[in-house]
Amino acid sequence: MIDLGCGNGQKKDSKIDLFNKAIIKFRGILPNFSDRKDIRDESCSPLEIAERIKGLIQGKVVCDLGCRNGHFMQDLQRYAKEVIGIEKRKCFCKIARKKGFKVIHKNYLKTDLPSADVYYIWSVEEKMDKVLARLWAQNKKGKYIKGSKTGERWEIEVVDI
């Protein structure tokens, strides 16, 4: 057990223990991005992930951490009550806002995170662990969904926070 700065003296499981206790794990094969008709690239969440997690986000407020230009927010919007994005690059914020999304122009690793039922990130492992520590430090409740890719495979893990 390690103390992740929860402020109340409580200990939380280490990141390794926590993700081994993930309540749900999904895996799949990444699409061939060169054949896609849309402008997504490998740094974006695959469309299939929104379909896989729809039962977890249906009727909920979802925060997409590092939302880029809002592509995945469009997919989440089909099922979620509300989708909020956080993006540090101004050019991406403008594009997502033009699509009608509420986007906070901040670095999600350095700002207070908005209230949401579900927090989603598609990123590198190091950032995912930092975000989880921030969620705990800010006493956020709900679900944390992390998505990542290895080679041609994607994986998402869902954790109660």
Domain positions in the chain are: 15-160
DSSP 93-147: HHHHHHTT-EEEES-TTTSPPPP-SEEEEES-HHHHHHHHHHHHHTT--SEEEEE
Asked whether 152 and 161 are in contact (CB, 8 A), the reply is: no
CATH topology of domain 15-160: Rossmann fold (3.40.50)
DSSP at 9: S
DSSP at 21: T
- In this prediction the pTM is 0.76
Each residue's pLDDT expressed in tens, for the chain with a length of 161 residues: 333 333 334 444 444 444 444 455 555 554 444 444 444 445 566 677 888 888 999 999 999 999 999 988 999 999 999 999 999 999 999 999 999 999 999 999 999 999 999 999 987 667 777 888 888 888 888 888 888 777 677 778 888 88
